[in-house]
Structure 1
């Protein structure tokens, strides 16, 4: 296991965990955005749990690689769906935000396969 893979994976987990936690805590800025994107309020808890579970899965993947791959693929799909949701809501200037969260997950997957 390479140091770069560990560092990038932990960064990706930290970012996904933060994103999930602020959603679960209903931070005003995230709630406002979700309303702007017309995401039903009934989904918010499930979306927050999905992100935090993905973060835990990334860390677990450092010890059980298949879990990391599954968590990484799930998070990439989640953030791609988030980008599509933002685009569907026509908030084009906000599309980079989910992609910023997806980038370290993609990097962790790539580094994991390379090591």
Structure 2
């Protein structure tokens, strides 16, 4: 299970870094979705920072599991918020991606706790 934890943590960290980079670069596809959700554009930097911090925590957590579990739990909270934001404005197209990332982070939490 430790290998599964590491592989999933790395893949999730990669997704978070790519998402954070898109927010920092103010990619039009990303900013249009976020502003349609009612999130101010001024939050993009903070959202990107949260994603990058989560990615770093996941990667460091491969060696120090308590940090990885905490980071994964934070990522779960982040993406639960994203799912809620999409549902609040009835944007069902955005729910699956956020839902999959929520599920992936939840699996990292479970694997992290199971392999401590």
Question: What stretches of structure 1 move > 4 A for 4+ residues in a row?
Answer: none
Aligned alpha-carbon RMSD (Å): 1.3
Measured after TM superposition, the shift of residue 50 of structure 1 is: 0.2
Q: Are the aligned partners of 1:11 and 1:104 in contact in 2 as well (CA < 8 Å)?
A: no
The Cα offsets for residues 35-74 of structure 1, whole Å up to 9 and x where unpaired, read as: 2111111111101100111000000111111111111111
Task: Judge conservation of contact 1:13–1:54 (CA < 8 Å) in 2.
Answer: yes
Aligned counterpart, 1:4: 4
| Structure 1 unmatched ranges of 5 or more | none
Aligned position for 1:14: 14
Contact 2:5 2:111 in 1 (8 A): yes
Aligned to 1:26: 26
- How many pairs align? 115
Corresponding position of 1:108 = 108
Contact kept in structure 1, 2:69 and 2:108, CA below 8 Å: no
Contact 2:69 2:113 (C-alpha < 8 Å) held by counterparts: no
Q: TM-score, normalization: structure 2?
A: 0.91
In the other structure, the counterpart of 1:48 is 48
The SS at the match of 2:39 is: coil
Structure 2 CA distance for aligned equivalents of residues 112 and 69 of structure 1: 6
Q: Which has the higher contact order (CA 8 A, sep 6+)?
A: 1
